Amino acid sequence: MPDPNLSFFGRLSLAMGTFFAILGNRELPAGIQRLRAGEPAAPATPAPVTAPAPAPVAEPAPALKEASPVAALQLLGLLQRDARFVDFVEEDITRYADAEIGAAARLVHDGCRAVLREHFTIRPVREEAEGSRVTLADGFDASAIRLTGNVVGSAPFHGAISHRGWKVEEVRLPRLAERHDASVIAPAEVEL
């Protein structure tokens, strides 16, 4: 005889199992109704044996590629060397006037732009102008296009380009000597 003092989780498990059993077996709800009404349960008829449905084959999770920290550090070093990017970001700018920050930002912007243009070929993901109406067919590249706004339903999607996106077509980072420590993005300077 089953334990009449089932724990909360035991009762929860029984309730969930019974719920799904009721959905899958036409005779079970009538038997439960008779038991709740105090009538004796009808003798159980064996359920027909059916072969289990084959389990759906799950696609393996995509393998994650290890990002090269050396390349990231190298880019950060180039941005520091040519644009003083890290100096600008690490500076406490609360004590400066907006005009001073704007002048410094212009120098950092020019240097960052020069680094990107020297070491990367960057093109827009979409060639249409921002604001243009486009239709995205089923199977569009979700890594190159992000849907925003009220995303419901399935493709084709109709919308307006709010940002053309960017993709890198070519990378031209300098080669590093084997013993080069890329984590030093800007050496300390000692004036003699």
pLDDT digits (tens, 9 = 90+) for 19-34: 656 666 667 767 777 7
Across 48-59, b (16+ Cβ under 10 Å) vs e yields eeeeeeeeeeee
- Determine the residue type at 25: N
pTM, 2 dp: 0.60
Which of 22-36, 82-96, 102-116, 150-164 is least confident? 22-36
Residue 156: cis peptide before it, omega within 30 degrees of 0: yes
Higher pLDDT, 106 or 20: 106
